[in-house]
Structure 1
């Protein structure tokens, strides 16, 4: 999942495809992307079947890129990222637009609810445990993966700057998940994840600088901003386990303590209280 989605251009191209972009020029007009980067990402998205490349003209050959069920089902994660960045991240060159739910006509904020009991859920009442195919060792990167430099952000990173400090780096993603399940101390992050001390120190510094974690009492705690990232994490996990199932069973099992059932996240409109659908979400001009 992180191999596919830990790249901001990929997320932005899929987002534009979900909003109706289909042709090369439409993506180019909508995003501050170079021809080389756009061509590369469209090729990789087609190869991984996240977009379907179809020829609509033969002379000269022209292609369009259509959403597939795989990319269409990313809308809960993308909606959660948009809301988190809009509400919690202030260093955008321009404010991110609000969202409108065409089902009720109102501007809205998405809320995560449990599919089983329909009650709103948060990181405080969802418990995670490893499934048959899961472990810290299988969730962290190999030694050859390097962190992208935060000091050399592309034009895309201006749009989702802090989200990409989490999902654009596997060590950071693993450490934030660990914080959600109760890990607090530097030595615990290092021992459980098997991470080099410099890696742990670097990611903890990034998270504290961005206000996602706060240090104190001999450890690190999630802030309100950090806890608000919960919808992004659970929607990403749900997407990953749907499209990359293991024959051994799920990697992570989530339980909603309020109802005692397995937790499957659903997004709901905070205005009309109805379940959201991706096709009903539009940015407010």
Structure 2
């Protein structure tokens, strides 16, 4: 039997993940997932662990009002409220998308700038300012917050165990930053799924996830593995034209609630 064995949310793009037992879904995926992002103050370009490895040590907890609590080793935490209608809009760039989104204000900026080490702004994306998902996949009205391309990422527990065996050491699930983890399937079974149901919600499996250097960063220490693992192994047996694929991007059709332990049904 397939079941949902773990749930993860990443309130701030490229910061630490939250382990959840249950969560609601909205049009943009898990409630509160990657609704916040750090951008370079001068260019408006998004910041991630790819360029700023210390972001792996940045903790961002989401609250029910949509705000954030940011904390990091050796720093006093800061509570940030959801920007109101009067908030300044800031032009930002994430991959090929440019959009204008609310800025969290100067106090938040001072805190994140001190942490990053250069002038940085914290921005939020409300539902009405969300981006379209990657062209050529899914439906025309599919939307995403600040996740790379799609609202949700699913990985099979058996797939991570198989990769760990190939690499020769256990790999932490958070290296791969999934939202949903499936237990009870064979390794890479998710590659063949097109539609699944969890609880009352149906999900479309729209595209495999192309993996990058982030998988080589230890989620606990923020250090990159000297042997480029597990990316090197993935490139050896999971390479396609657009990269080494591991995990599947999903879009949820409708809102609802997820809870760890729920059965998963493969519809197609």
Higher relative contact order (CA 8 A, sep 6+): 1
Q: Specify the TM-score bucket, using the shorter chain as the normaliser.
A: under 0.3
Structure with more of its chain in helix, by fraction = 1
Question: Which structure has the greater CA radius of gyration?
Answer: 1
TM-score for the superposition, normalised by structure 2: 0.23
Structure with more of its chain in strand, by fraction = 2
